[in-house]
């Protein structure tokens, strides 16, 4: 492991930890904007899962006001079913394709979230089955690259739930699904000695940024921070996708 790799892993973990502490999600999307340039895609997926799991554990205190076990259960069931399929896909990913996929996800998901307030609310449409389907998509993406967030977060927004309710649903969902994904990675041999060394960099690098982000969650406007974060992630997605396309020419 080179110093450049260690530095990139630490930087991605710190940035992802801060954004996750602040918003309750987006550790993977933030960290991968840095890691996709330097970290092997299989290792990057495992790092995202580990970092998200650690960050959600640290920020559990922020979900007390909005937690409802019956609300989050369909998401969890769907996610648990989806994780093994994502882990299977992970074995067949090309690094350039991985960067392109991450870039496309950022370019599609982030602008959608920027205009989410203008989207129609689906208060009851599809019921618990639709919630489970959103969880399933998140589970597949968790197994594939640790990105369990986009589908459930967008769906919670479409449901019209408040900030605390959305954060409670996603953080509990994410904690469970990333735990399942870590177990699946261990069982499939995806996690090995070199990856564990990177885990030892991720955990300490994200502790302080995550705690700072969680504290700021209660002090600043959600809307202002969300717009800034999503604009930055959109720009990162454009760079990732563009570089990947240039590589393939």
Residue 34 CB neighbours (<10 A): 21
Q: How far is CA 43 from the centre of its chain?
A: 15
Between the ranges 21-25, 61-65, 179-183, where is the mean pLDDT highest?
A: 179-183
pTM score: 0.79
Instruction: Note the pLDDT tens digit of each residue in 156-215.
Output: 877 877 778 888 898 899 899 989 989 988 888 878 888 899 999 999 999 999 999 888
Question: Whole-angstrom Cα distance, residue 20 to residue 28?
Answer: 9
Give the 3-state secondary structure of residue 167: helix
Looking at per-residue pLDDT, the higher value among 236 and 83 belongs to 83
| Domain boundaries along the sequence of the chain | 3-248
Instruction: Note the pLDDT tens digit of each residue in 102-129.
Output: 788 888 878 877 776 665 667 666 788 9
DSSP states of 80-140 as a string? HHHHHHHHHHHTT--HHHHHHHHHHHHHHHHHHHHTGGGSPP-SSTTHHHHHHHHHHHHHH
Q: What's the pLDDT at 246?
A: 60
Residue 156 CB neighbours (<10 A): 24
Both tokens assigned to 1: 């492991």
Both tokens assigned to 80: 């648990």
| Mean pLDDT score, 15-42 | 84
Question: 203 Cβ partners below 8 Å, 6+ apart?
Answer: 13, 50, 51, 54
Nearest by Cα to 191 from 179, 182, 180, 200 = 182
Confidence of residue 144 (pLDDT cuts 50, 70, 90): confident
From residue 172, give the alpha-carbon distance in Å to each of 90, 166, 179, 183, 210: 24, 10, 11, 17, 16
Say if residues 80 and 148 touch (Cβ distance below 8 Å).
Answer: no
Question: Whole-angstrom Cα distance, residue 171 to residue 67?
Answer: 10
Both tokens assigned to 40: 């092997």
């Amino acid at each position: 492991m080179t110093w450049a790799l260690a530095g990139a892993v630490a930087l991605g973990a710190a940035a992802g930890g801060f954004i996750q502490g602040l918003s309750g999600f987006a550790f993977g999307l933030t960290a991968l904007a840095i890691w996709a340039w330097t970290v092997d895609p299989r290792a990057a997926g495992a790092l995202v899962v580990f970092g998200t799991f650690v960050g959600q554990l640290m920020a559990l205190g922020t979900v007390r006001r909005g937690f409802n076990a019956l609300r989050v259960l369909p998401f969890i069931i769907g996610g648990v079913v989806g994780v093994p399929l994502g882990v299977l896909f992970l074995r067949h990913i090309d690094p350039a394709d991985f960067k392109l996929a991450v870039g496309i996800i950022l370019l599609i998901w982030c602008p959608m979230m920027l205009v989410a307030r203008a989207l129609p609310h689906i208060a009851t449409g599809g019921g618990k089955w639709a919630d489970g389907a959103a969880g399933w998509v998140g589970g597949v993406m968790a197994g594939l690259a640790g990105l369990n967030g986009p589908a459930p977060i967008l769906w919670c927004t479409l449901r019209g739930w408040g900030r605390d309710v959305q954060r409670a649903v996603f953080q509990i969902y994410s904690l469970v699904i990333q735990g399942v994904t870590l177990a699946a990675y261990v069982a499939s041999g995806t996690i090995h000695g070199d990856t564990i060394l990177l885990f030892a960099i991720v955990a300490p690098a994200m502790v302080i940024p995550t705690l700072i982000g969680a504290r700021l969650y209660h002090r600043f406007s959600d809307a202002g921070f969300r717009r800034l974060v999503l604009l930055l992630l959109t720009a990162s997605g454009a760079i990732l996708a563009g570089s990947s396309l240039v590589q393939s020419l």
